[in-house]
Amino acid sequence: MKKLNNEKVYQILVTFIIITISIVCLFPLVYVFMLSLTSKSEWIDKEGVIFWVNNPTLFAYKGVFKFGGTIGKAFVISILRTTVGTFLTLIITIISGYTMSRKNLPGRKIMIIMIMTILIFNGGLIPTYLVVKETNLLNTFWAMIVPMMMYGWGALIFKQFFENIPAEIEESAQMDGASEINLMMNIAVPISAPVIAAIGLFSAVIHWNSWFDAMIYITDPRLKPLQLVLRNMFVDNNLSWATGTMNHDPSMLSVTDESQKMAVAIVGTIPILMVYPFLQKHFVKGVYTGSVKG
C-alpha cells in the first residue's frame, strides 16, 4: 500500500513538473500571438502588457500578406533553403552513417574520429568564411546549404542504427547478389524511416531558424531568408514595409509597430510548427532506436 502511494505521489509530481515546463515553453508563443492581435487602443489601455486580447484584430496580418513584399520573398527563400538543405543533409548523413557502420571498411575508425572531432571543434568563423569565399559560394543560395550538409551527430545516429540491423538480413540479401548500394537503398534506408524523420526534423528546424550564416555570407537582399529579415527588423526597428502599408490602407493605423512585428514573427514560426504533427509518431522512436544499441 505504501509503495502504491509513493507511485501516485511520483506520478503527480512528474505530471506537475511536465505541465509547468509546458506552460513556461508555451507562454512566449501565446504572448507573441496575443500581441499580434492587439489594436493600438488596447495596447495603450493595457500599457503594453498583453495576456489576453478583448477585441482582436487581424490588421497586422493583413499588412504582412498584402504589402510585405520583402517578407514574402524571404519566406520563399526560407522554404527553399529548408527543403533543399534538409534533403541534401539527409543524403550525406545517411551515406556517412552507413559507411561508418561497415566494420570491415578500411579507415573506418579514422572517419569516426573525424566525425567526433567536428562535433567538439569547428573551424571558426574566419576560416569558414574564407573557405566559402574561395569556393565562390559567397553571396549565393548555396552558401547557406553546402557548409551545413554534413550533420555529424546525425551521422553517428544512423551509424548506430545501421549497426543494429540483424546480420541475417544482410547475409540473405548478399546471397541473392545484392551489392552494398542495394543493401543500403533497399534494406537499410527503408527500415530507418523513424530515424530519417527524426534527423530530418532536426535539420529542418536548424535551417529554418538559421540567420547568422546568411548575415555573414549573403549581401543580396533577394537571397536573405525570413529569419534574417526578422532579425534586422527587430534590431534596426525597420518597418518600411509597414509604412507603405499604412499609406495604402489607413486601417493599418489602428495597430502598433509591435503588433506588426509580432505578426511577422508568428508567420515565420507557424510553418515549422506545422511539421511536428506529421513527424511526431516517428520522432521519439527514431531518436531512441538510433541511440540505443539493442
Q: Is residue 63 pLDDT above 90, yes or no?
A: no
What topology is assigned to 68-238 in CATH? Answer: MetI-like fold (1.10.3720)
Q: Which three cell numbers stand for residue 161?
A: 542504427
Q: Is residue 292 pLDDT above 50, yes or no?
A: no
What local confidence, expressed as pLDDT, does residue 290 receive? Answer: 45
Q: What is the mean pLDDT of the chain?
A: 79
Q: What is the mean pLDDT of residues 83-106?
A: 90
Kindly report, residue by residue over 125-159, the tens digit of the pLDDT.
888 899 999 999 999 999 999 988 888 888 888 88
Q: Is residue 80 pLDDT above 90, yes or no?
A: yes
Distance CA 39, CA 53 (A): 9
Nearest alpha-carbon partner for 225 in 159, 124, 144, 115: 144
Banded model confidence at residue 240, pLDDT cuts 50, 70, 90: low
Distance CA 60, CA 33 (A): 11
Q: Which residue has 540479401 as its cell numbers?
A: 173
Q: Is residue 248 pLDDT above 60, yes or no?
A: no
Q: Is residue 293 pLDDT above 50, yes or no?
A: no
Rounded to two decimals, the pTM is 0.77
User: Per mean pLDDT, which of 87-91, 169-173, 288-292 is the most reliable?
Assistant: 87-91
Distances (CA, A) of 162 to 58, 124, 190, 216: 50, 32, 11, 37
Q: What is the mean pLDDT of residues 15-22?
A: 90
Distance CA 269, CA 213 (A): 19
Q: Is residue 84 pLDDT above 70, yes or no?
A: yes
Q: What is the mean pLDDT of residues 221-239?
A: 78
Q: What is the mean pLDDT of residues 186-206?
A: 86
Query: Which of 22-31, 58-67, 80-89, 171-180 shows the lowest mean pLDDT across its residues?
Result: 58-67
Instruction: Please report the sign of the dihedral spanned by the C-alpha atoms of residue 112, residue 117, residue 118, residue 119.
Output: positive
Q: Please provide the DSSP assignment of the chain as one string.
A: -HHHHHHHHHHHHHHHHHHHHHHHHHHHHHHHHHHHT--HHHHHHTTT--SS-SS---HHHHHHHHH-HHHHHHHHHHHHHHHHHHHHHHHHHHHHHHHHH-TT-TTHHHHHHHHHHHHH----HHHHHHHHHHTT-TTSGGGGTGGGS--HHHHHHHHHHHHTS-HHHHHHHHHTT--HHHHIIIIIHHHTHHHHHHHHHHHHHHHHH--HHHHHH---GGG--HHHHHHHHHHHT--HHHHHHHHH-GGGGGS-HHHHHHHHHHHHHHHHHTTHHHHHHHHHHHHHHHHS--
CA 83, chain centre distance (Å): 11
Q: Is residue 78 pLDDT above 80, yes or no?
A: yes
The pLDDT > 90 percentage for the chain reads: 15
The residues near 43 (Cβ < 8 Å, ≥ 6 apart) are 50, 256, 258, 259
The pLDDT > 70 percentage for the chain reads: 82
CB of 262 closer than 8 Å to CB of 32: yes
User: Per mean pLDDT, which of 48-52, 194-198, 209-213 is the most reliable?
Assistant: 209-213
What local confidence, expressed as pLDDT, does residue 46 receive? Answer: 65
What local confidence, expressed as pLDDT, does residue 284 receive? Answer: 57
Distance CA 239, CA 256 (A): 11
Nearest alpha-carbon partner for 276 in 200, 211, 175, 212: 200
